[in-house]
């Protein structure tokens, strides 16, 4: 499960030490952590990362297969998390420690910035190869953060991007050795921790209004 700690203004959300798939319990742990962060009033910035091989491997397809009748509500909940991170009223950065696949890559994209481990792991949208079309909300999130060329390449090919290629495509902003990853990521947001939350939240909400509208719309399968 995800856990939240802080060191002064920098809050770190550890997504876990396994595949960090979006199980209902895992989603609850992330939502609770964000509740705790948003309940604070002092200057803050958020860094998310994982431990080991994965940042996040995305949707919990095993759970979905056993609870298919709950699929629409599950997808709506995942999209609500994306919308929440996209507009969180503090500066955010994903320290992508390993593989970020599917919804895990989308979660990273929802952050303001991304720094990826330079020697291991892939950033990938495998949906085209596993026959799962992107929802309108997921499409809107990805296209809000990437150029049309990068979005088409990443979404229609299922390509696995190592760090250098992910930087070149604009999927992530920088790459760093694992030993320096969190500190390089923290450097991007720590100095921004004092920004007024109401103002910052409003800026993000207006900047990503179209993506938010699509993410908050009920899953068209329901």
Which CATH number covers residue 105?
A: 3.90.226.10
Pick from 88, 71, 90: nearest CA to 24: 71
* 222 domain residue, yes or no: no
Query: What are 58-106's pLDDT values in tens digits?
Result: 999 999 999 999 999 999 999 999 999 999 999 999 999 999 999 999 9
| pLDDT beyond 60 at 222 | no
How many other C-beta atoms lie within 10 A of the C-beta of residue 77? 16
14: in domain: yes
Give the mean pLDDT of the chain.
97
In a domain? residue 206 = yes
pLDDT(220) > 90: no
Tokens, residue 174: 């920088």
Give domain status of residue 157, yes or no. Answer: yes
d(CA 176, CA 96): 10
Q: What pLDDT digit, counting tens, does each position of 25-44 carry?
A: 999 999 999 999 999 999 99
Helical (H) or strand (E) element with 135: none
**Count of structural domains, the chain:** 1
Nearest to 121 by CA among 21, 22, 50, 30: 50
Domain for residue 221, yes or no?
A: no
Backbone angles phi, psi at 60, to 5 degrees: -85, 85
Name the percent of the chain lying above pLDDT 70.
Answer: 99
Model confidence at 159, pLDDT cuts 50, 70, 90, reads very high
Q: Is the pLDDT of residue 202 over 80?
A: yes
Domain that holds residue 190: 3-216
């Amino acid at each position: 499960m995800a856990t939240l700690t802080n060191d002064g203004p920098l809050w770190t959300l550890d997504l876990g030490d396994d595949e960090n798939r979006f199980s209902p319990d895992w989603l609850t742990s992330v939502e609770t952590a964000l509740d705790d962060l948003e309940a604070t009033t002092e200057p803050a910035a958020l860094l998310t990362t994982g431990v080991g091989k994965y940042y996040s491997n995305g949707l919990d397809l095993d759970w979905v297969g056993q609870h298919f009748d709950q699929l629409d509500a599950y997808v709506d909940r995942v999209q609500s998390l994306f919308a929440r991170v996209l507009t969180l009223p503090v500066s955010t950065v994903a320290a992508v420690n390993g593989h970020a696949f599917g919804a895990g890559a989308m979660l990273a994209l929802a952050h303001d910035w991304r720094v990826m481990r330079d020697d291991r792991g892939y950033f990938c949208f495998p949906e085209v190869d596993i026959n799962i079309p992107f929802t309108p909300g997921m499409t809107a999130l990805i296209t809000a953060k990437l150029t049309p060329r990068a979005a088409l390449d990443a979404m229609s090919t299922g390509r696995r991007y190592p760090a250098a290629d992910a930087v070149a495509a604009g999927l992530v902003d920088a790459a760093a050795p694992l030993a320096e990853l969190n500190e390089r990521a923290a450097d991007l947001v720590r100095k921004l921790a004092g920004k007024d939350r109401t103002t910052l939240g409003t800026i993000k909400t207006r900047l990503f209004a179209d993506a938010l509208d699509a993410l908050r719309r009920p899953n068209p399968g329901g």
